[in-house]
Amino acid sequence: MLSNKSSSDFLNRQQNRIHAYVDQLLALLVQAERPAERPAERPRAGLPRLKGWRFTLSIGRSLSLSIVDNELGDVYGPPTARDSLGGGIYLIWEDDRRTSTTLDRYTVMNFEQCLKEWRALSFTELYGPDILAPGIYPEVAMLDEAILPLVEGDTTLFYRILSQGQRELQANGALFVDASTNASLTTSYICNSKGLNLSYSSTGFSFSFFADSLYGNGYSKRRLCPEGEVEVVLDDIKTMLPFFKQEGQFVSRADRPALGTASPSDHPAEPPVGDSVLLGSNVAVSFVSTFLLSNLYGSRVVNGQAAFEKGDFLAKKAVIREDISLMLDSLRPYEFSAGRLTGEGVPGGRVALIEKGRLNTPILDLKYANLMGLPPTPAGSVYMEIANQPSPDGAVSHSVPSHMAEAVSQRKSLPELIRQVDHGLLVYVLMGMHTQDGTSGRYSVSAPRSLVIGQGEFKGVVKTTLTGNFFDNLNDPRTTFGWDPREDNPAMLIQCQASTAQ
């Protein structure tokens, strides 16, 4: 169904433009490393020389088209093209003062003036990192040439996908359809004064549909979707939408005195008591991001603003159940998180932030790696791994390594998890997660469209408020995981207080 046309002219033009810019910038920076010999002729006379620098620079083009409230390509979602060139630069001056600022399309032509302004912005950075020597950077697939014609301006595929989705979803009961498609091409450079000079190009392609603001699904990778993917997404929405259109009833455990009052605990030794709530994988990810990941940034750990302290990592403190690991991975082919290196020049890779329930390392840039006394970490996305249920090495479209095949086949699927719930809820949409304080683990969020599950089947929707402590959930032996083969992270079945608001 999808075009596989290859076009590299546009890519070449983009690459040539950024090559020219980078060449000029490199020459100017090398010149700024030398002392100003003839002050009268040098606009940068009086400035100290640079003793180190690094920069990242990207040139990009993206194209998009949307449906907003059933209107395809109208003024709120028209065919849209965006071009940009920009990046960031970090300078170390001769006197060890530092400057951190942005690069734009005009930096090179105004370089001498910029240099003066950058010096004026410089500051003494305690524990400021040195420039990293070049390393070995892993290869990871990020470019799909089949996307290039879309980026050049051919919107035919966009219109075709969106028209098909709108037609099929409306024929299956959707009153209002919202949808979007996007394709992008980016060429990036990462260079530094110690000889790092690496460039790569990457593409992106995504589409998503949402029906009646109730339920949605989509695709988002660095390569064009495989044949049949649009149909898979639409079939899922068509299957799920009717369940969201039935009013349901749910009696919370808190409202059933005979079963005991819910009592979320702040102490991991006391497992939470409450209702069975199945967090869809996207919702589970938002919990992990808000309450776990936010406490794993090196700057927050070192500065005492996280739930975990520096010593906790050095002591490999157990903080969650021992079968759960949290991995940071930049090497998954064609994922948006894929990257060969960070902007500081740290090679891409895969590292456990939490390994078998124990803190392993925070997410560390060079500065905070020095302060922690640990190696810097790669960029990338986080993935949960459950012992005996390893996370997928990519989405459904990626093959599972043979040594993992048996374990993966033992994973509990999301439908299996749903079938084991006698009385509970399935949550795909949350409101208010961004208002939570992630450090305590405590949550109080609204789930306006919770699907009631009774004896493993959907029984309509209710509005609920979920209350609990996510650290308790991650320590609770009853928490279980279910995998949707199209998702990178598992759905989670937890126990928490679900209060209905009729």
By C-beta, is 263 or 410 nearer to another protein?
263
By C-beta, is 125 or 355 nearer to another protein?
125
By C-beta, is 5 or 82 nearer to another protein?
82
Alpha carbons 149 and 29: distance in angstroms, whole number? 36
Member of 4, 8, 12, 102 binding another protein (CB under 8 A): 102
Q: Return the SS3 of 138.
A: coil
CB of 71 to another protein, least distance (A): 5
CA 290, 324, 416, 488 dihedral sign is: positive
**Region near another protein per CB under 8 A, out of 243-251, 346-354, 389-397, 493-501:** 493-501
CB of 469 to another protein, least distance (A): 9
User: What contacts 24+ positions apart, CB below 8 Å, involve 391-398?
Assistant: 391/327, 391/488, 391/489, 391/490, 392/483, 392/485, 392/488, 393/332, 394/332, 394/333, 394/334, 394/335, 395/221, 395/485, 395/486, 395/487, 395/488, 396/485, 396/486, 397/221, 397/226, 398/332, 398/333, 398/334
Q: Cβ–Cβ contacts within 10 Å for residue 84, how many?
A: 12
| Residues 51 to 70 in contact with another protein, rule: CB under 8 A | 68-69
| Residues 211 to 230 in contact with another protein, rule: CB under 8 A | 213
Q: Return the SS3 of 87.
A: strand
By C-beta, is 369 or 417 nearer to another protein?
369
Shortest CA distance to 411 belongs to which of 350, 467, 484? 484
Question: Per DSSP, what are the bridge partners of residue 305?
Answer: none
Member of 94, 95, 117, 270 binding another protein (CB under 8 A): 117
By C-beta, is 219 or 471 nearer to another protein?
471
Binding mask of the shown chain, residues 302 to 341, with x at each position contacting another protein by CB under 8 A: -xxxxx----------------------------------
CB of 466 to another protein, least distance (A): 8
Binding mask of the shown chain, residues 142 to 181, with x at each position contacting another protein by CB under 8 A: -----------x-x---x---x------------x-----
Contact 4, 227 (CB under 8 A): no
By C-beta, is 23 or 83 nearer to another protein?
83
Q: Return the SS3 of 295.
A: helix
499 binds another protein (CB under 8 A): yes
Member of 4, 80, 197, 239 binding another protein (CB under 8 A): 80
Member of 86, 134, 394, 460 binding another protein (CB under 8 A): 86
By C-beta, is 101 or 220 nearer to another protein?
101
| Residues 251 to 270 in contact with another protein, rule: CB under 8 A | 254, 261-264, 266
Alpha carbons 401 and 380: distance in angstroms, whole number? 21
**Region near another protein per CB under 8 A, out of 20-28, 72-80, 317-325, 387-395:** 72-80
446 binds another protein (CB under 8 A): yes
Instruction: Classify 127 in phi/psi space as left (phi over 0), alpha (psi -120 to 50) or beta.
Output: left
Alpha carbons 494 and 50: distance in angstroms, whole number? 54
Binding mask of the shown chain, residues 425 to 444, with x at each position contacting another protein by CB under 8 A: ------xx-xxxx-xxxx-x
Member of 20, 43, 46, 76 binding another protein (CB under 8 A): 76
Question: Per DSSP, what are the bridge partners of residue 380?
Answer: none
By C-beta, is 197 or 435 nearer to another protein?
435
By C-beta, is 126 or 258 nearer to another protein?
126
Member of 33, 74, 322, 457 binding another protein (CB under 8 A): 74
CB of 195 to another protein, least distance (A): 25
By C-beta, is 124 or 455 nearer to another protein?
124
467 binds another protein (CB under 8 A): yes
Measuring CA to CA, how many Å separate 271 from each of 51, 469, 502?
A: 55, 10, 28
Shortest CA distance to 68 belongs to which of 152, 190, 181? 181
By C-beta, is 399 or 502 nearer to another protein?
502
Member of 31, 100, 170, 370 binding another protein (CB under 8 A): 100
| Residues 339 to 398 in contact with another protein, rule: CB under 8 A | none
**String of DSSP letters for 39-72:** GGG-TTTTSPPEEEEEEEEEEEEEEEEEEETTEE
Question: Which two tokens mark 82?
Answer: 């965006």
Alpha helices in 321-432 (DSSP H): 366-372, 402-409, 414-419
Residues whose CB is less than 8 angstroms from the CB of residue 233 and which lie 6 or more positions away in sequence, other chains included: 165, 207, 208, 209, 217, 218, 219
